[in-house]
Chain A
Amino acid sequence: MPDFKPRTVYVTYIAATPEKVWQALTSSEFTRKYFWDRDIEIEPKLGGAFALKLPDGKVNVRGKVIAWDPPRKLSVTWQVEWPEDFRKLPECVVTYEIAKAGEAVRLTMTESHSWNVPEAILSGGRTGWPAILSSLKSLLETGKPLAIQMEPPREMIEAIRRL
Chain B
Amino acid sequence: MSKPHFVYVTYIRTTPEKLWEALTDPQTIKKYWFGITAESDFKSGSPWALKFEDGRTADTGEILEAVPPRRLVIRWRNEFRPELKAEGYSRCTMEIEIADYYPDRGGKAVKLTIHHEVEGESAGKFIEAVSGGWPKVLSNLKSLLETSDIAFQL
With a 10 A CB-CB cut-off, give which of A12, A15, A101, A146 has the most chain B CB atoms.
Answer: A146
Which of B101, B139, B140, B142 has its CB near the most chain A CB atoms (within 10 A)?
A: B139
What is the size category of the interface that chain A forms with chain B? 20 to 34
- Chain B residues with CB under 8 Å of A148's CB are 11, 99-101, 107, 109
CB of A116 within 8 Å of the partner chain = no
Q: Does B12 contact A (CB under 8 A)?
A: yes
Q: Are B143 and A15 in contact (CB under 8 A)?
A: yes
Contact string against A for B residues 123-154, beta-carbon threshold 8 Å, 1 for contact and 0 otherwise: 00000000000011001101100110101111
Which of A104, A130, A134, A141: most chain B CB closer than 10 A? A134
CB contact list, B54-103 vs A, under 8 A = 99-102
User: When the two chains form their complex, are residues A146 and B13 in contact, meaning their CB atoms are under 8 A apart?
Assistant: yes
Q: Which residues of B contact A130 (CB under 8 A)?
A: 8-11
Q: Is the CB of A13 within 8 A of B146?
A: no
Report how far A137 CA is from B141 CA in the complex, Å: 12
Instruction: List which A104-163 residues lie within 8 A (CB) of chain B.
Output: 104, 126, 130-131, 134-135, 137-138, 141-142, 144-150
- How far, in angstroms, from A150 to B109 measured CA to CA in the complex? 13
A134 contacts B12, CB within 8 Å?
Answer: yes
Given contacts A12-B10, A148-B101, 9 further A-B contacts (CB under 8 A): A11-B135, A13-B140, A131-B9, A142-B146, A146-B11, A146-B99, A147-B109, A148-B99, A148-B107
Residues of B within 8 A of A (CB): 7-13, 99-102, 105-107, 109, 135-136, 139-140, 142-143, 146-147, 149, 151-154
Partner-B contacts on A (CB < 8 A): 11-15, 101-104, 126, 130-131, 134-135, 137-138, 141-142, 144-150
